[in-house]
Amino acid sequence: MTRTGRRPWKPVVLAFLGAAAASGFGALATNLGPWYYALRKPSWQPPDWLFGPVWTTIFALAALSGLYAWHRAPDASSRRRMLIAFGANGVLNVVWSLLFFRLHRPDFAFYEVALLWSSIVTLMVLMWNYSRTSSVLLLPYLAWVSFASILNVAIVRLNGPFAGG
Protein backbone atom coordinates (compact mmCIF):
# COMPACT_ATOMS: atom_id res chain seq x y z
CA MET A 1 0.00 0.00 0.00
CA THR A 2 1.06 3.58 -0.55
CA ARG A 3 1.32 6.33 2.08
CA THR A 4 -2.31 7.22 1.47
CA GLY A 5 -3.45 3.65 2.05
CA ARG A 6 -4.34 3.09 -1.61
CA ARG A 7 -3.33 -0.02 -3.50
CA PRO A 8 -1.79 1.21 -6.78
CA TRP A 9 -2.07 -2.24 -8.41
CA LYS A 10 -5.83 -2.59 -7.80
CA PRO A 11 -6.93 -0.53 -10.86
CA VAL A 12 -4.48 -2.45 -13.06
CA VAL A 13 -5.95 -5.77 -11.92
CA LEU A 14 -9.53 -4.47 -12.37
CA ALA A 15 -8.78 -3.19 -15.88
CA PHE A 16 -7.14 -6.47 -16.87
CA LEU A 17 -9.90 -8.62 -15.37
CA GLY A 18 -12.63 -6.51 -16.96
CA ALA A 19 -11.06 -6.69 -20.41
CA ALA A 20 -10.31 -10.40 -20.02
CA ALA A 21 -13.88 -11.14 -18.87
CA ALA A 22 -15.50 -9.26 -21.77
CA SER A 23 -13.08 -10.84 -24.23
CA GLY A 24 -13.48 -14.33 -22.79
CA PHE A 25 -17.26 -14.29 -22.59
CA GLY A 26 -17.43 -12.78 -26.08
CA ALA A 27 -15.19 -15.55 -27.40
CA LEU A 28 -17.33 -18.21 -25.71
CA ALA A 29 -20.44 -16.68 -27.29
CA THR A 30 -18.86 -16.71 -30.75
CA ASN A 31 -19.50 -19.91 -32.67
CA LEU A 32 -18.03 -20.00 -36.17
CA GLY A 33 -19.84 -23.18 -37.07
CA PRO A 34 -21.78 -24.34 -40.12
CA TRP A 35 -24.51 -21.71 -39.69
CA TYR A 36 -21.99 -18.86 -39.79
CA TYR A 37 -20.04 -20.30 -42.72
CA ALA A 38 -23.26 -20.77 -44.70
CA LEU A 39 -24.10 -17.07 -44.44
CA ARG A 40 -23.60 -14.93 -47.50
CA LYS A 41 -21.16 -12.16 -46.63
CA PRO A 42 -20.16 -9.03 -48.51
CA SER A 43 -16.95 -9.21 -50.54
CA TRP A 44 -15.42 -6.48 -48.36
CA GLN A 45 -15.71 -8.45 -45.11
CA PRO A 46 -12.26 -8.91 -43.52
CA PRO A 47 -10.97 -12.47 -43.25
CA ASP A 48 -12.07 -14.38 -40.14
CA TRP A 49 -8.50 -14.60 -38.79
CA LEU A 50 -8.34 -10.78 -38.49
CA PHE A 51 -11.15 -10.48 -35.93
CA GLY A 52 -9.18 -12.04 -33.06
CA PRO A 53 -6.18 -9.67 -33.27
CA VAL A 54 -8.46 -6.66 -33.77
CA TRP A 55 -10.56 -7.50 -30.71
CA THR A 56 -7.46 -8.25 -28.64
CA THR A 57 -6.07 -4.81 -29.53
CA ILE A 58 -9.40 -3.13 -28.82
CA PHE A 59 -9.73 -4.77 -25.39
CA ALA A 60 -6.13 -3.88 -24.52
CA LEU A 61 -6.76 -0.24 -25.48
CA ALA A 62 -10.02 -0.23 -23.49
CA ALA A 63 -8.19 -1.57 -20.43
CA LEU A 64 -5.54 1.17 -20.80
CA SER A 65 -8.29 3.72 -21.27
CA GLY A 66 -9.97 2.62 -18.06
CA LEU A 67 -6.67 2.63 -16.20
CA TYR A 68 -5.78 6.18 -17.29
CA ALA A 69 -9.27 7.42 -16.47
CA TRP A 70 -9.23 5.71 -13.08
CA HIS A 71 -6.05 7.53 -12.07
CA ARG A 72 -7.32 10.89 -13.31
CA ALA A 73 -10.89 10.66 -12.04
CA PRO A 74 -11.51 13.38 -9.46
CA ASP A 75 -13.32 11.21 -6.89
CA ALA A 76 -14.77 7.83 -5.97
CA SER A 77 -18.15 8.73 -7.47
CA SER A 78 -16.54 9.38 -10.88
CA ARG A 79 -14.66 6.09 -10.69
CA ARG A 80 -17.87 4.26 -9.77
CA ARG A 81 -19.73 5.78 -12.75
CA MET A 82 -16.83 4.79 -14.99
CA LEU A 83 -16.87 1.17 -13.71
CA ILE A 84 -20.62 0.96 -14.29
CA ALA A 85 -20.24 2.34 -17.82
CA PHE A 86 -17.41 -0.09 -18.65
CA GLY A 87 -19.41 -2.96 -17.14
CA ALA A 88 -22.50 -2.10 -19.19
CA ASN A 89 -20.34 -1.85 -22.30
CA GLY A 90 -18.84 -5.29 -21.65
CA VAL A 91 -22.28 -6.83 -21.19
CA LEU A 92 -23.53 -5.23 -24.42
CA ASN A 93 -20.47 -6.53 -26.26
CA VAL A 94 -21.18 -10.10 -25.13
CA VAL A 95 -24.93 -9.79 -25.83
CA TRP A 96 -24.19 -8.84 -29.44
CA SER A 97 -22.13 -12.02 -29.87
CA LEU A 98 -24.88 -14.11 -28.26
CA LEU A 99 -27.54 -12.65 -30.53
CA PHE A 100 -25.50 -13.01 -33.71
CA PHE A 101 -23.58 -16.25 -33.21
CA ARG A 102 -25.58 -18.30 -30.69
CA LEU A 103 -29.16 -17.29 -31.39
CA HIS A 104 -28.45 -16.84 -35.13
CA ARG A 105 -30.22 -13.49 -35.13
CA PRO A 106 -28.08 -10.95 -36.97
CA ASP A 107 -31.25 -8.86 -37.33
CA PHE A 108 -31.61 -8.53 -33.54
CA ALA A 109 -27.84 -8.06 -33.22
CA PHE A 110 -28.05 -5.10 -35.59
CA TYR A 111 -30.52 -3.34 -33.31
CA GLU A 112 -28.47 -4.22 -30.23
CA VAL A 113 -25.27 -2.85 -31.79
CA ALA A 114 -26.78 0.63 -31.58
CA LEU A 115 -26.75 0.24 -27.80
CA LEU A 116 -23.16 -1.04 -27.88
CA TRP A 117 -22.09 1.91 -30.05
CA SER A 118 -23.88 4.32 -27.71
CA SER A 119 -22.14 2.79 -24.70
CA ILE A 120 -18.74 3.48 -26.28
CA VAL A 121 -19.70 7.10 -26.96
CA THR A 122 -20.97 7.36 -23.37
CA LEU A 123 -17.61 6.13 -22.06
CA MET A 124 -15.74 8.61 -24.24
CA VAL A 125 -17.90 11.53 -23.09
CA LEU A 126 -17.79 10.44 -19.44
CA MET A 127 -13.99 10.37 -19.38
CA TRP A 128 -13.29 13.36 -21.62
CA ASN A 129 -13.25 15.95 -18.82
CA TYR A 130 -10.58 14.22 -16.79
CA SER A 131 -8.71 12.08 -19.31
CA ARG A 132 -8.80 12.95 -22.97
CA THR A 133 -6.22 10.23 -23.55
CA SER A 134 -8.74 7.69 -22.22
CA SER A 135 -11.35 8.92 -24.64
CA VAL A 136 -8.96 8.85 -27.60
CA LEU A 137 -7.87 5.29 -26.76
CA LEU A 138 -11.49 4.22 -27.37
CA LEU A 139 -11.59 5.63 -30.92
CA PRO A 140 -10.44 2.35 -32.53
CA TYR A 141 -13.20 0.55 -30.61
CA LEU A 142 -15.80 3.04 -31.85
CA ALA A 143 -14.47 2.79 -35.41
CA TRP A 144 -14.49 -1.02 -35.36
CA VAL A 145 -18.02 -1.23 -33.94
CA SER A 146 -19.15 1.32 -36.55
CA PHE A 147 -17.64 -0.87 -39.27
CA ALA A 148 -19.11 -4.01 -37.67
CA SER A 149 -22.54 -2.34 -37.68
CA ILE A 150 -22.31 -1.78 -41.42
CA LEU A 151 -21.12 -5.35 -41.91
CA ASN A 152 -23.97 -6.60 -39.69
CA VAL A 153 -26.63 -4.83 -41.75
CA ALA A 154 -25.06 -6.13 -44.99
CA ILE A 155 -25.28 -9.69 -43.66
CA VAL A 156 -28.91 -9.13 -42.68
CA ARG A 157 -29.72 -7.82 -46.16
CA LEU A 158 -27.93 -10.71 -47.87
CA ASN A 159 -29.45 -13.44 -45.72
CA GLY A 160 -32.66 -12.32 -44.04
CA PRO A 161 -35.25 -12.91 -42.89
CA PHE A 162 -34.08 -14.84 -39.83
CA ALA A 163 -36.23 -17.13 -37.73
CA GLY A 164 -33.82 -18.07 -34.94
CA GLY A 165 -31.66 -20.98 -34.70
Pick the CATH number of 10-159 from 3.40.50.300, 1.20.1260.100, 3.40.50.360, 3.60.20.30: 1.20.1260.100
Q: What is the pLDDT of residues 43-83, one digit of tens each?
A: 999 999 999 899 999 999 999 999 899 889 999 999 999 98
In sequence order, which ranges of the chain are alpha helices (DSSP H)?
Answer: 10-29, 34-38, 48-72, 76-97, 106-128, 132-137, 139-159
Phi, psi of 138 (to 5 degrees): -90, -5
**22: nearest Cα among 100, 70, 87:** 87
What pTM was estimated for this model as a whole?
0.86
Give residue limits of the domains in the chain: 10-159
